[in-house]
């Protein structure tokens, strides 16, 4: 069975509220083991380690399938999946309101990402070069690593990186910490 067909089968089991972004389970015709009392009307899925809501579904053939809530929300709203990636505009991967989802290329999606958990400078594209004893700047754009220089001052390095990103179509949210997914144990 094709992935889109599987997702359509799952979409038949849920309700989606595009204003809140919440997917809830529909009641089942056959209420085995009190499923309707336990799950009907309740929010679907759980957050994975990356902050995305994932639905875990057992199909009629016994096969278990996991699917991302944002992809299911898109399918329910538009009837198909985009050829591109689905981006969470505000960077909150659990926020599946339709106004927060957009279909964009992988390249553009990368220009709206949160800061890595491993980043030590607090700025995407800036890292400490112990070899040179300076803050080094490098930004990947249009398939290329762009070296922007080394700086004594972190604030100056950040300024150069932000100017470069502004000229190359990165979002203002790019590199924010506010909506970054917290580290899980």
Which of these, 121, 116, 124, 117, lies nearest to 134 by C-alpha position?
A: 121
For residue 151, the cross-strand partners are: 135
Per-residue pLDDT of the chain (185 residues; tens, 9 = 90+): 478 888 998 999 999 999 999 999 999 888 777 777 888 899 999 999 989 999 998 877 788 889 999 999 999 999 999 999 999 988 899 999 999 999 988 877 777 777 777 778 888 789 899 999 999 998 887 778 889 999 999 999 989 988 888 887 776 666 555 444 443 33
Same topology between domain 3-104 and domain 115-167: no
User: The domain 115-167: what is its CATH number?
Assistant: 3.30.730
Where in the chain are the domains? 3-104, 115-167
Phi-psi region of 91 (alpha: psi -120 to 50; beta: other; left: phi over 0): left
User: The domain 3-104: what is its CATH number?
Assistant: 3.90.75.20
Token readout for 81 is 């999946």
HSE-CB of 45 using CA atoms within 13 angstroms: 28
pTM of this prediction exceeds 0.75: no
Distance CA 157, CA 22 (A): 40
């Amino acid at each position: 069975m094709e992935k889109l067909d599987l997702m359509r089968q799952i979409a038949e089991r849920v309700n989606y509220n595009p204003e809140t972004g919440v997917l809830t389970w529909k009641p089942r015709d056959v209420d085995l083991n009190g499923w309707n009392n336990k799950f009907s009307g309740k929010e679907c899925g759980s957050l994975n380690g990356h902050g995305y809501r994932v639905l875990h579904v057992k199909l009629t053939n016994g096969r278990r399938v996991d699917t991302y809530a944002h992809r299911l929300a898109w399918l329910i709203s538009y009837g198909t999946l985009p050829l591109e990636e689905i981006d969470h505009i505000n960077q909150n991967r659990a926020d599946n309101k339709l106004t927060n989802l957009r279909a964009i290329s992988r390249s553009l999606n990368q220009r709206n990402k949160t800061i890595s958990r491993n980043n030590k400078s607090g700025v995407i594209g800036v890292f400490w070069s112990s070899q040179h004893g300076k803050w080094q700047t490098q930004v990947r754009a249009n398939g290329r690593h762009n070296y922007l220089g080394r700086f004594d001052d972190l604030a100056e390095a950040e300024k150069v990186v932000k100017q470069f990103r502004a000229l190359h179509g990165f979002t203002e949210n790019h590199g924010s910490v506010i909506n970054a997914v917290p580290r899980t144990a």
